[in-house]
């Protein structure tokens, strides 16, 4: 649907947002600290996931393509289970697109990682300000990581479609995301 969400899609997005946030909360805070860190992961990892997927949807709709988010329940369950080991597998689903040309598909794919780059910069700007410095630092690191991870140039990652569409755009985006990720580890 153009410029619309179905009721099912809203539920799918909400479920994935919550479970991605829980994955990060468990991995970062452990079982006992999960509830304390969950509000922070909702605002950092959860928002990073949410806006990444919405960027795909809205750019696809701008190109007059059909776009709908569908959660992957098996990957969500696996991700939550793995988070107890400290490993995060955030593959909650994706936006299914129909009617996109090769060029449009590349642009749609790039929208998600670039949104994470923008969010990483936003959270980085928060890092000097106490008491939100910890939120800024975590949001900076998570969103830079999401951008780099999603730019891997192999299926099913966004980077594959971007690389197939425009290798220069892919290289510049990866360099930017990689630089931000390295900076987030310092």
Q: What is the pLDDT of residues 142-178, one digit of tens each?
A: 999 999 999 999 999 999 999 999 999 999 999 999 9
pLDDT of residue 98: 96
Tell whether the model's pLDDT for residue 19 goes beyond 50: yes
Residue of 9, 12, 53, 68 marked catalytic: 53
For residue 17, which of 57, 69, 87 has the smallest C-alpha distance? 69
Tens of pLDDT, residue by residue over 81-117, are 999 999 999 889 999 999 999 999 999 999 999 999 9
Average pLDDT along the chain: 95
pLDDT recorded at residue 3: 57
Check residue 38 and give its pLDDT.
96
Q: What's the mean pLDDT in 29-57?
A: 95
Q: In this structure, what token pair is assigned to residue 115?
A: 């949104």
- Quick check: is 9 catalytic? no
Q: Where are the domains of the chain?
A: 7-184
How high is the pLDDT of residue 1? 46
Share of the chain above pLDDT 90, in %: 88
Share of the chain above pLDDT 70, in %: 98
Question: pLDDT class for 118, splitting at 50, 70, 90?
Answer: very high
How would you write the chain as a 3-class SS string? Answer: CCCCCCHHHHHHHHHHHHHHHHHHHHHHHHHHHHHHHHHHHHHHHHHHHHHHHHHHHHHHHHCCCEEEEEECHHHHHHHHHHHCCCCCCCCCEEEEEECCCHHHHHHHHHHHHHHHHHHHHHHHHHCCCCCCHHHHHHHHHHHHHHHHHHCCCCCCCHHHHHHHHCHHHHHHHHHHHHHHHHHHCC
């Amino acid at each position: 649907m153009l410029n619309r969400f179905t009721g099912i899609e809203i539920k799918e997005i909400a479920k994935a947002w919550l479970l991605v946030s829980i994955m990060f909360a468990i991995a970062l805070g452990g079982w006992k600290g999960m509830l304390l860190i969950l509000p922070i992961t909702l605002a950092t990892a959860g928002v990073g996931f949410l806006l990444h997927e919405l960027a795909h949807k809205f750019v696809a709709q701008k190109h007059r393509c059909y776009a709908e988010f569908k959660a992957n329940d098996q990957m969500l369950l696996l991700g939550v289970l793995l988070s107890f080991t400290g490993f995060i597998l955030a593959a909650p689903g994706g936006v299914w697109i129909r009617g996109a040309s090769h060029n449009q598909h590349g642009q749609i794919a790039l929208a998600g990682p670039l949104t994470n780059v923008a969010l990483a910069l936003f959270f980085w700007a928060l890092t000097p300000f106490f008491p939100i410095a910890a939120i800024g630092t975590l949001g900076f690191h998570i969103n830079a990581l999401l951008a780099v991870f999603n730019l891997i140039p192999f299926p099913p990652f966004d980077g594959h479609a971007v690389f197939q569409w425009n290798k220069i755009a892919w290289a510049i985006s990866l360099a930017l995301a990689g630089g931000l990720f390295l900076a987030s580890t310092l």
